[in-house]
């Protein structure tokens, strides 16, 4: 039995700089080409704009590759290819369409490590996450939806599903390959053809993915990928051949798309921002909750639309949770995304880093209390130390605006009713977390919370079978599961 | 001298009460021969905002009613409609003598019964238990969105209006509906019928007046989660532009072509689905 030391609690084992971890870089080759053209009608095609832009690695600011800049002519060519491919693809039997998706899933699994390394180099996320999360879950999405392709009549009781036509899809930079899979897999399963645009800063894995399409023998034109920035996206949104626009990204752009498409008959699904409440009750397993809070906000540097960025802690355990969180933060390793021991990688771009810095500054000036562990950040690249704010009030910008970075705002509550009221005090409604030992309380909170996804005693879990998407200004439509499938089809 | 009958002052059904417009304005309602019938309230955005407040207050309670209870209340609406079927048909014929008035009333009653039976069934068909790869019980339930704004069609003043209200309230939404401008009287009667149908006040709020007064505020009001409108292209454009301010859902019935309100697919599960949000819960499975 250990000796009782009432006035001398066991010391935390914090080795600080005493023993540095050896670097443990992932060295598998990423096979990134020096230049990527557009992927139109099954072929890599030089852009008619004759322009390419640099994609840099946010981890060290070095150039990774050159990405084609698609102009209106290129986007038109992509839509022409998709329109031409539609009749045959949509009439192919579901079983045949499904077989292509199965092939894609398998080929992606074969090259999982290569894709994970490329994702980390191009986007800055820790290799641990791209290797264990992004790429395997992307493959799982193809495998899951492959099985739907010949079972569409079961997704809508009493009816069946018919494809929409050509769909335009615009995806964000936080999960480049995974968002591509979320968008492509259900659309193809339902018999649509696609023009997709990856985010400007993260096009590499999308272009690498085109080689998998070629290896899988996907018919030309079924999936076309055009790269570029906002103007390319606008060309897609405006294109008359688009039967539907699916967008994941900021609420500002989502509103712009909805406004722009007013008066057209184009369908829209929007997966937009969030400011999720992660609610910790006093009966929660605190150590497990602390791990979940850390995963909820620091996963992917906080570049997650459903990040648990507002922590609501019951007053009675607030001090304990803050103390343990501060301790846990000191163990987080920020640095080289390719290092297998890295917990927090690089911020995706300088622009995003500046936005995070600006919002953190506002948190300090508005009177919240900032906590950052002492940590050495690499000299080159875009990095931001994990940050906690306590004494946050609901009116603070850091409690209202989506920061999209490793910054957690901590608020407290006394009763479940107060927690719900505070959780709802936002225009967003994408996700929420609940930490408690009581199953009945989980279900009660889940029923009350206006959010599309509620995680209980866990956070940031995703699965192709589990529909994802928001309430209120977090957008409309779902991705994944039976419900997500219905957004890529007409119910006939 | 024969007895002078007592004419009714038409009032809008708002928050469970019968109101005149806050604006104090009315418009003349005439029969098909052009004779004066009554004055109809000309509701404005102030009335719409009051209706939103009433609908917001009623919302949580209505959504929390058991599905069985909501079903019985919808069935009660059908009972009350049936008992005033002749009066409703007369109201439809008043402005439109060529209308198949009795047929429209019968269809409206049957449609109400149809939705009464859906309250405790749509969830089983649209929700799901999802087989995720981690140890979680993962399930998706369909929840009402909240407040729904409705712009009813000009024609079919009873069947069109009810066909749009019913799928929204079946799942626990509350609605604010603007009735037909040219044929408003059936909506006045509908309010009186709803008032005696055990439907909690504020669940259905019926306004009369012009689209010009109501549409812009309905499109942009932050508390309305969806707009369901029988609308032409320019109205659809205006509604969607306004809806973008708060990422509001829009569901349209294009009014360029006549809408067949008697059709089989003018009712059913997929109309209810328009006004549902899918919520997915990850519940831990463990010791």
Q: What is the pLDDT of residues A376-426, one digit of tens each?
A: 899 999 999 999 999 999 999 999 999 999 999 999 999 999 999 999 999
Where does residue A464 fall: left (phi above 0), alpha (psi -120 to 50 degrees), or beta otherwise?
alpha
For residue B30, give the 3-state DSSP assignment: strand
Please report the pLDDT score of residue A14 as a whole number. 65
User: Looking at A26, A190, A200, A305, which residue is catalytic?
Assistant: A305
Tally Cβ neighbours within 10 Å of residue A314: 22
pLDDT digit string, tens, across residues A299-335: 999 999 999 999 999 999 999 999 999 999 998 999 9
- Half-sphere exposure of residue B169, counting CA atoms within 13 Å on the CB side? 34
With contacts defined as CB-CB under 8 Å, which chain B residues touch A491? Answer: 270
- Distance from the A467 Cα atom to the nearest Cα atom in chain B, whole angstroms: 7
pLDDT digit string, tens, across residues A176-232: 999 999 999 999 999 999 999 999 999 999 999 999 999 999 999 999 999 999 999
Q: Do residue B281 and residue A475 have CB atoms under 8 angstroms apart? A: no
Q: How far is CA B26 from CA A62, A348, B42, B48, in A?
A: 71, 59, 5, 15
Contact A489/B at CB under 8 A: no
Query: Which residue, A101, A71, A76, A81, is CA-closest to A40?
Result: A81
With contacts defined as CB-CB under 8 Å, which chain B residues touch A473? Answer: 246-247
Identify the H or E element spanning B100: none
Please report the pLDDT score of residue A3 as a whole number. 55
Indicate whether B232 belongs to any domain. Answer: yes
Contact A443/B at CB under 8 A: yes
Contact predicate A440/A422, CB 8 Å:
no
Contact A474/B at CB under 8 A: yes
pLDDT digit string, tens, across residues B151-200: 999 999 999 999 999 999 999 999 999 999 999 999 999 999 999 999 99
Contact predicate B45/B59, CB 8 Å:
no
- In angstroms, the CA B8 to CA B10 distance is 6
Report the CATH number that the domain containing residue B272 is assigned in CATH. Answer: 3.40.605.10
**pLDDT at residue B287 is higher than 70:** no
**pLDDT at residue A115 is higher than 60:** yes
With contacts defined as CB-CB under 8 Å, which chain B residues touch A452? Answer: 277-280
Please report the pLDDT score of residue A6 as a whole number. 57
**Is residue A306 flagged as an active site residue?**
no
Please report the pLDDT score of residue B139 as a whole number. 98
Indicate whether B4 belongs to any domain. Answer: no
Contact predicate A481/A465, CB 8 Å:
yes
Contact A475/B at CB under 8 A: yes
Indicate whether B118 belongs to any domain. Answer: yes
Q: Who among A157, A451, A458 is closest to B136 (CB)? A: A458
Of the ranges A10-19, A107-116, A434-443, B180-189, which one carries the lowest mean pLDDT score?
Answer: A10-19
Length of chain B: 287
Please report the pLDDT score of residue A15 as a whole number. 64
Q: Who among A262, A272, A446 is closest to B241 (CB)? A: A262
Q: At what angle do helices A176-189 and A204-216 cross, to 10 degrees?
A: 40
- In angstroms, the CA A346 to CA A301 distance is 7
- In angstroms, the CA A57 to CA A120 distance is 8
Please report the pLDDT score of residue A16 as a whole number. 60
- When scoring B123, B130, B282 by the number of chain A Cβ atoms within 10 A, the one with the most, hence best to mutate, is B282
DSSP state of B153: -
Indicate whether B144 belongs to any domain. Answer: yes
Q: Which residues does B contribute to its contact with A (CB < 8 Å)?
A: 125-126, 128, 130-134, 136, 138, 140, 145, 225, 233-234, 236-241, 243-247, 249, 268-270, 277-284
Domain around B264:
12-284
Please report the pLDDT score of residue A75 as a whole number. 98
pLDDT digit string, tens, across residues B186-206: 999 999 999 999 999 999 999
Contact predicate B222/B244, CB 8 Å:
no
Pair of tokens at residue A474: 């977090």
Indicate whether B7 belongs to any domain. Answer: no
**pLDDT at residue A241 is higher than 60:** yes
HEC-encoded secondary structure of chain A = CCCCCCCCCCCCCCCCCCCCCCCCECCCCCCCCCEECEEECCEEECCCCCCEEEEECCCCCCEEEEEECCCHHHHHHHHHHHHHHHHHHHHCCHHHHHHHHHHHHHHHHHCHHHHHHHHHHHHCCCHHHHHHHHHHHHHHHHHHHHHHCCCHHHCCCCCCEEECCEEEEECCCCCHHHHHHHHHHHHHHCCCEEEEECCCCCCHHHHHHHHHHHHHCCCCCCEEECCCCHHHHHHHHHCCCEEEEEEECCHHHHHHHHHHCCCCCCEEEEECCCCCEEEECCCCCHHHHHHHHHHHHHHHHHCCCCCCCEEEEEHHHHHHHHHHHHHHHHHCCECCCCECCCCECCCCCHHHHHHHHHHHHHHHHCCCEEECCCCCCCCCCCCCCCEEEECCCCCCHHHHCCCCCCEEEEEEECCHHHHHHHHHCCCEECEEEEECCCHHHHHHHHHHCCCCEEEECCCCCCCCCCCECCEECCEECCECHHHHHHCCEEEC
Query: Which residue, A20, A23, A25, A31, is CA-closest to A127?
Result: A25
Indicate whether B2 belongs to any domain. Answer: no
Contact A442/B at CB under 8 A: yes
DSSP state of B260: -
Please report the pLDDT score of residue A101 as a whole number. 98
- Distance from the A14 Cα atom to the nearest Cα atom in chain B, whole angstroms: 32
Number of domains in chain B: 1
Confidence class for position A351, pLDDT limits 50, 70, 90? very high
**Is residue A271 flagged as an active site residue?**
yes
With contacts defined as CB-CB under 8 Å, which chain B residues touch A446? Answer: 279, 281, 283
pLDDT digit string, tens, across residues B66-114: 999 999 999 999 999 999 999 999 999 999 998 899 999 999 999 999 9
Q: Do residue A458 and residue B240 have CB atoms under 8 angstroms apart? A: no
Q: Which is it for the CA torsion A78, A79, A81, A85, positive or negative?
A: positive
Please report the pLDDT score of residue A286 as a whole number. 97
Contact predicate A337/A25, CB 8 Å:
no
Contact predicate B278/A469, CB 8 Å:
yes
Q: What percent of chain A has pLDDT over 90?
A: 95
Contact predicate A216/A100, CB 8 Å:
yes
Q: Is beta strand A52-56 parallel, antiparallel or unpaired with respect to A63-68? A: antiparallel
Q: What percent of chain B has pLDDT over 90?
A: 98
With contacts defined as CB-CB under 8 Å, which chain B residues touch A461? Answer: 132, 134, 136, 282
For residue B53, give the 3-state DSSP assignment: helix
pLDDT digit string, tens, across residues B38-51: 999 999 999 999 99
Q: Over range A249-268, report the average pLDDT.
A: 96
With contacts defined as CB-CB under 8 Å, which chain A residues touch B172? Answer: none
Adjacent-strand bridge partners of A136: none
Please report the pLDDT score of residue B111 as a whole number. 98
Pair of tokens at residue A291: 């791990």
Contact predicate B269/B118, CB 8 Å:
yes
Indicate whether B224 belongs to any domain. Answer: yes
Per the prediction, chain A carries an average pLDDT of 96
Residue A427 makes CB contacts below 8 A (sequence gap 6+) with A251, A472, A473, B246
- In angstroms, the CA B150 to CA B274 distance is 13
**What value, to the nearest 5°, has the Cα angle with vertex A332 and ends A328 and A333?**
165
Enumerate domains of chain A plus CATH numbers. 35-272+474-491 (3.40.605.10), 277-465 (3.40.309.10)
Tally Cβ neighbours within 10 Å of residue B124: 10
Per the prediction, chain B carries an average pLDDT of 97
Q: Do residue A482 and residue B128 have CB atoms under 8 angstroms apart? A: yes
Confidence check on the interface: ipTM exceeds 0.90, yes or no: yes
Contact predicate A198/A236, CB 8 Å:
no
Identify the H or E element spanning B67: helix B67-83
**Start-to-end C-alpha separation, chain A:** 70
Question: Which residue's structure tokens are 């004066």?
Answer: B36
- In angstroms, the CA A420 to CA A409 distance is 16
Question: Which residue's structure tokens are 């697919």?
Answer: B265
**pLDDT at residue A7 is higher than 90:** no
- In angstroms, the CA B73 to CA B20 distance is 26
């Amino acid at each position: 039995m250990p000796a009782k030391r009432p006035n001398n609690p066991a010391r935390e084992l914090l080795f600080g700089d005493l023993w540095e971890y050896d670097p443990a870089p992932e060295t598998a080759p990423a096979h990134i080409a020096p230049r990527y053209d557009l992927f139109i009608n099954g072929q890599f095609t030089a852009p008619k704009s004759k322009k390419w832009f640099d994609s840099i690695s946010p981890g060290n600011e070095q150039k990774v590759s050159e990405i084609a800049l698609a102009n209106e002519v290129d986007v038109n060519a992509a839509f022409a290819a998709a329109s031409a491919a539609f009749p045959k693809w949509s009439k192919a039997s579901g079983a045949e369409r499904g077989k292509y998706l199965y092939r894609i899933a398998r080929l992606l699994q074969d090259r999982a490590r290569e894709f994970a390394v490329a994702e980390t180099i191009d986007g800055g996320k820790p290799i641990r996450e791209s290797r264990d999360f992004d790429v395997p879950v992307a493959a799982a999405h193809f495998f899951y939806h492959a099985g739907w392709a010949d079972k569409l009549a079961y997704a809508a009781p009493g009816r069946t599903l018919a494809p929409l036509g050509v769909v335009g899809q615009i995806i964000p930079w936080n999960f480049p390959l995974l968002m591509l899979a979320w968008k492509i897999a259900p659309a193809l399963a339902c018999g649509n053809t696609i023009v997709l645009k990856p985010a400007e800063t993260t096009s590499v894995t999308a272009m690498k993915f085109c080689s998998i399409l070629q290896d899988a023998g996907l018919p030309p034109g079924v999936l076309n990928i055009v790269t570029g920035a906002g103007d390319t996206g606008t060309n897609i949104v405006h294109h008359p051949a688009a039967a539907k626009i699916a967008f994941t990204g900021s609420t500002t752009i989502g509103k712009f798309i909805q406004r722009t498409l007013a008066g057209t008959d184009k369908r829209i699904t929007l997966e937009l921002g969030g400011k999720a409440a992660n609610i910790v009750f006093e009966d929660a397993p605190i150590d497990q909750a602390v791990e979940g809070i850390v995963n909820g906000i620091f996963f992917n540097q906080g570049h997650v639309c459903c990040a648990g960025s507002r922590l609501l802690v019951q007053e009675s355990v607030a001090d304990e949770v803050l103390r343990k969180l501060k301790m846990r933060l000191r163990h987080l390793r920020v640095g080289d995304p390719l290092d297998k021991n890295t917990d927090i990688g690089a911020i995706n771009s300088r622009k995003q880093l500046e936005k995070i810095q600006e919002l953190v500054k506002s948190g300090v000036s508005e009177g919240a209390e900032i906590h950052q562990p002492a940590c050495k950040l690499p000299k080159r690249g875009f990095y931001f130390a994990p940050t906690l704010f306590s004494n946050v009030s609901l009116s603070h910008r850091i409690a209202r605006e989506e920061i999209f970075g490793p910054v957690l705002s901590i608020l407290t509550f006394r009763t479940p009713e107060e927690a719900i009221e505070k959780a709802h005090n936002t225009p967003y409604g994408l996700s929420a977390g609940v930490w408690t030992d009581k199953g009945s309380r989980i279900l009660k909170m889940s029923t009350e919370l206006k959010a599309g996804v509620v995680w209980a005693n866990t956070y940031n879990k995703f699965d192709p079978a589990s529909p994802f998407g928001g309430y209120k200004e977090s957008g409309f439509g779902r991705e994944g599961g039976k419900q997500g499938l219905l957004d890529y089809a007409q119910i006939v | 001298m024969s007895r002078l009958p007592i004419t009714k002052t038409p009032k809008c059904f708002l928050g469970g009460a019968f109101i005149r417009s806050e604006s104090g304005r009315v418009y003349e309602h005439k029969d098909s021969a052009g004779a004066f019938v009554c004055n109809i309230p000309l509701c404005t955005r102030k009335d719409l905002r009051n209706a939103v407040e009433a609908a917001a207050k009623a919302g949580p309670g209505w959504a929390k009613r058991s599905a069985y209870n909501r079903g019985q209340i919808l069935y009660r609406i059908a009972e009350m409609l049936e008992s005033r079927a002749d009066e409703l048909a007369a109201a439809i014929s008043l402005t439109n003598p060529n209308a198949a008035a009795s047929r429209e009333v019968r269809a409206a009653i049957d449609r109400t019964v149809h939705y009464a039976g859906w309250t405790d069934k749509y969830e089983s068909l649209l929700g799901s238990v999802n087989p995720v790869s981690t140890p979680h019980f993962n399930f998706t339930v369909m929840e009402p969105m909240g407040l729904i704004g409705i712009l009813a069609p000009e024609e079919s003043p009873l069947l069109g209006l009810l066909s749009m209200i019913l799928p929204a309230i079946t799942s626990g939404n509350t609605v604010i509906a603007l009735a037909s401008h040219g044929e408003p009287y059936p909506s006045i009667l509908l309010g009186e019928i709803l008032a005696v149908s055990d439907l909690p006040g504020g669940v259905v709020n019926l306004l009369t007046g012009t689209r010009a007064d109501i549409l812009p505020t309905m499109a942009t009001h932050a508390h309305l989660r969806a707009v369901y409108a029988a609308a032409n292209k320019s109205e659809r454009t205006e509604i969607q532009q306004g809806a973008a301010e708060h990422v509001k859902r829009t569901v349209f019935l294009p009014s360029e072509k006549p809408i067949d309100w008697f059709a089989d697919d003018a009712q059913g599960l997929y109309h209810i689905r328009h006004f549902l949000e899918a919520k997915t819960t990850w519940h831990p499975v463990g010791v």
